[in-house]
Structure 1
Amino acid sequence: MAHNESIVSRHSRYGAGPIRRLRLLGPWLGRAPWALVCLFLLLSVIATAAVGKFPESVPWGVYGFIVVLAGLFLEPRFLLVVYIGLFLAMAILGAYLGGTKTTTTGAQIVTVATMMLMLWLSHARAQVGVVGVSGESMLVDMRDRLRAQGELPPLPPSWGAEVALESAFGDGFSGDFVVASRSTDGCTLEVALVDVSGKGREVGARSLLLSGALGGLLGELSERDFLQSANNHMLRLRWSEGFATAVHVAVNLETGNFTIGYAGHPAAAQFTAGSGRWRMLAGGRGPLLGVIEQAEFPRETGSLRRGDALVLYSDGVIEARDKALDDGIDRMLGRAESFIRTGFEGLAQRLCDQAASGLGDDRAVVTIWRT
């Protein structure tokens, strides 16, 4: 029985539904004159209650609620109109009520400060053309789309594979990603694990852009041309501070033969059932992606027989500031030893959870095995 599973971060789908529903609400609330009319009506009701029967029961904090509500759903030009009206209402009510309501000056200062903050946020959203919480929804879509790229295709019954991705400190975005493809005749599985320079949200957009491009290249080119084409693509992007490492493997699912190549990436590990040992695949070394023009990316060949396994991983799994790289590799292989007798299902997530870097770096692991 094949175990074909992609394990993205355990927080990969949190809160996506409600945010997407609010995304549809934002543009509707942001349309003038509906939003302006509703907000001014609400302001009128509050002012009437403060002047009339409930001068002591209506707190100044309720105006802060209007400030935040308007700031979430209005464009800057409409937001400024609402804030001017709100400030005038507070000033008139403060003068009219006199000593009936205390802390008038302090409440006005806090409210104006909140207005300035919300105006800044509204202006920032307007620059990218989003209203309300639609910007957050776009980030959720980007995150889910990036992780969906790493879903592995179905495999034959005699093969198993897993992917585990964890971002630094549990952030929603990771500089590590996986793209995978199976040939149309079903004979070849190709997997590329890529580590883009940077961490967290700052690298999320670059990872999404690069994963889409490399996902399109995967399976369309010969396995020997993939890394070279990926390098050429990154050079065309001209990222000022951007480079990436990658490992690419192509496995023949009928014979078990594979080829593997690296672009500045840590060497993969192979378990051989015949010897009962792990070994590092040190051949097929190439330079970083996006650094050198016309770079060469040699490949190493090997074979996966029954009971064998292959582990691809990013540097966050083995690197730690206070330890040598060899210690990190030994630590990883020591964790993998416990799966030899029970099977390799769950190994990818185990290596991510117990990585040498802890939670301080992005981590990605791909395991492929033959039963």
Structure 2
Amino acid sequence: MRESGGLALVRRIGRRVEALGRRARRSHRLAFVVLLLVQLVIAIASRVWMTLVPASFLIVPLVVGGVLLQFGELVALTGITTALGSFAVLSRGLTLPRLGFVLVLLVVGWILITSAKVRSRLGVAGTRSESMLMELRDTLTAQGEMPKLPSGWRVEVAIQSARGSTFSGDFVVSTMHGDILEVALVDVSGKGIDAGTRALLLSGAFGGLLGVVREEEFLSSANRYIRRQDWDDDFATVVHVVLDLRTGDFDVRTAGHPPAIHFDAWTGRWQTRDADGPLLGLMESPEFKVNQGQLKLGDALFLYSDGMVETPRRDIGRGTDRLIGHAERLVAQGFLGAAAHLVASAGGPGDDSAIVIIHRTPA
């Protein structure tokens, strides 16, 4: 019973602390006043009981203020903390270590103020800017989720950002209307977080176009949208697939993108499905050809970005052969988990890599 009561007490205290933290994040003025009072108490206690309360405790509330406060409030807290620290330390006598402590306070405050100034450009304070970035990342990830396919079909998606960033210039959008599945794999110019903002913008726009415009007009509509953005020397490549889930018939259209790869389970052959088309955003009214085929039982269709096949030391042709070699080893397991495996084994670490595998599972 005692252990249960103690555990309940700890939980209540934890909830109170969490509630206070949420309230402090919402009310910056309240947090500023509380931190100011804490700094005042620490400074007085350090002056009275210098052996029990070191003046270095002043750094802790200052760091907390860097997380919770707005830019102007943080500047005020830094100045007041420096003044209180100087009073608590230098009133005992002017020595080099005490001057060094005041200098450390100033340096810590300067670092926190610099960081807060960057966040203030977004009009948000504290950890809210980081939360916004995480929400944007989650939105980009959620838009790449595939619709639920009927029995006999399986689709896998894997995306790996350059240099371990959580933002990627590669993204996938898809929709299903009736028995028609539309998938577009897009590669935005740039790498990692540099291309992440444009990828987020385009993923919403391209996701809205899928299933709304006619399949053969999707790339033309996407090209007009990018042209309206008036970006300087920025472009996007796309591979767009329209698949009839009843018959397995598919259309592939590409815009400056590596060709899709079709695995024929009956012959064991691998065939590239190329449909030459210009990069999106560079021409006013481009034309996009179509490559048609059919997925029979056991067949698979691979869509991938250039990060999977191209490196500074290897051209796309050799990279495609290498990707096929990796994929061929996964035929026996029915390509189960193949997307994540191929991104990890064939994807280039210095570029964004993405792959989509559509597999018509055998009976």
TM-score by length of 1: 0.88
From 39, 61, 71, give the equivalent of 1:43.
Answer: 39
Letter in 2 for 1:291: L
State yes or no: 1:295 paired with 2:313. no
Residue 17 of structure 1 is matched in structure 2 by: none
Q: Distance in 2 between matches of 1:176 and 1:24?
A: 35
Residue 64 of structure 1 is matched in structure 2 by: 59
Q: CA deviation at 1:50?
A: 0.9
Residue 208 of structure 2 is matched in structure 1 by: 216
Q: CA deviation at 1:176?
A: 0.4
Whether the 8 Å CA contact 1:26–1:133 is kept in 2: the answer is no
Within 5 A, what are the aligned runs for 1:13-162?
24=22, 27-30=25-28, 32=29, 34-53=30-49, 55-98=50-93, 103-162=97-156
Residue 354 of structure 2 is matched in structure 1 by: 364
Residue 257 of structure 1 is matched in structure 2 by: 249
Letter in 1 for 2:327: A
Q: Cα deviation per residue 1:107-126 (whole Å; 9 max; x = unaligned)?
A: 11121122122222222222
Q: Cα deviation per residue 1:132-178 (whole Å; 9 max; x = unaligned)?
A: 10110111111111011111111111111111111112211010000
State yes or no: 1:163 paired with 2:157. yes
Q: Once structures 1 and 2 are overlaid, which stretch shifts more, 336-345 or 297-306?
A: 336-345
Q: Cα deviation per residue 1:277-317 (whole Å; 9 max; x = unaligned)?
A: 111112x2111111111111111111111111100000111
State yes or no: 1:336 paired with 2:327. yes
Q: Distance in 1 between matches of 2:265 and 2:82?
A: 75
Q: Cα deviation per residue 1:55-108 (whole Å; 9 max; x = unaligned)?
A: 134334322222222222222222222222212112222231227x87111111
Residue 5 of structure 1 is matched in structure 2 by: none
Q: CA deviation at 1:331?
A: 1.1
Number of residue equivalences: 344
Residue 317 of structure 2 is matched in structure 1 by: 326
Q: Distance in 2 between matches of 1:21 and 1:208?
A: 33
Gaps of 5+ in 2: 1-17
State yes or no: 1:315 paired with 2:306. yes
From 175, 194, 200, give the equivalent of 1:181.
Answer: 175
Q: Once structures 1 and 2 are overlaid, which stretch shifts more, 292-301 or 76-85?
A: 76-85
Letter in 2 for 1:349: A
1:301 is paired with a residue of what secondary structure? strand
Q: Distance in 2 between matches of 1:59 and 1:241?
A: 57
Whether the 8 Å CA contact 1:317–1:356 is kept in 2: the answer is yes
Q: Distance in 1 between matches of 2:68 and 2:222?
A: 41
State yes or no: 1:205 paired with 2:197. yes
Q: Distance in 1 between matches of 2:230 and 2:23?
A: 38
Whether the 8 Å CA contact 2:44–2:88 is kept in 1: the answer is no
Whether the 8 Å CA contact 1:26–1:134 is kept in 2: the answer is no
Q: Distance in 2 between matches of 1:59 and 1:263?
A: 65
1:97 is paired with a residue of what secondary structure? coil
State yes or no: 1:355 paired with 2:346. yes
Q: Once structures 1 and 2 are overlaid, which stretch shifts more, 63-72 or 159-168?
A: 63-72
Q: Distance in 2 between matches of 1:168 and 1:59?
A: 45
Q: Distance in 1 between matches of 2:221 and 2:205?
A: 10
Letter in 1 for 2:89: G
Q: Distance in 2 between matches of 1:149 and 1:95?
A: 58
Whether the 8 Å CA contact 1:174–1:200 is kept in 2: the answer is yes
